[in-house]
Amino acid sequence: SLFRLKDLEVAKLGDSDVHVKMLAAPINPADINMIQGTYAILSPLPAVGGNEGVGEVLEVGQRVTTLKPGDRVIPAGSGLGTWRTQGVFPEEMLLKVPSDIPVLCAATLSVNPCTAYRMLADFEPLAPGDSVIQNGANSGVGQAVIQIAKASGFKTVNVVRDRPDLPKLVERLMALGADHVITEEMLRKPEMKDIFKSIPKPRLALNCVGGKSTTEMLRHLQPKGTMVTYGGMAKQPVMVPVSAFIFRDVRLRGFWMTQWRKDHAQDQKSLASMMDTLYQLIQRGQLTAPACTEVPLQDYKAALEATMKPFTSSKQILLL
């Protein structure tokens, strides 16, 4: 295994540093990809895994202005290395979170809900009543898309892989606010026409799968609609019929949250307004943490294995 649990000295607190006691950190697919070396970011080794999580400030350096002991914080960017009990980080690498945000919501906030928020906001000017179609709808991003769309008045058509406990999954996604939950097989069936009698054809498609699922989903996009790819779980390319380009002028785009943060590093306003919207949705009960399994840090091996299993519908959260 690539992992070992190690005891390290906590670094000395510099003037602009913050000493944080980590509380909880999830294991995301991107964390695993980073470790396998198949991701666009490679950390110099040895490295601490984990790109998101929530902690509590224990102590701050004398030049720190935005944080004080007792504050809750989450990473401002990727690569923080959140799978640890304590750490000393530069102030600018942390964002303060309101203290009434539940721990599991805060721990899972900086990657998936932010990705969902940006994809719904940045590619198509959606208005209440418009619809969005997405595959991998039971993923962390998928669950956030359903909830943020519902709160914004957008309809969602949610595609999931067929599985043994399908009715249970459908029920869970409907409870989050999904309008329709269908399997990949259903995408090719004539019954799809019935769905689009009650809601308009989607202007936006969100793809984290690739392969056949994506090609089928694309068929239902409105002319001039946009498909945004943010993941490739099937490890297969995106195939697009020529006719979709010529006769429907569909747009294909990509999205990576890490890149968005880099591009907006000087634009604190955009970041603050996104975070405030997400905090408010959480405070109103309109955005919840994904289904989670809480695992003590020493059982990290079991948590990693569970993350790699097919049809995982619960996110493993390390309790630190």
Active-site residue (options: 39, 117, 230, 279): 39
- Closest Cα partner for 252 from 215, 303, 282? 215
Bridge partner list, 57:
20
Q: Is 117 one of the annotated active-site residues of the chain?
A: no
Catalytic residues: 39
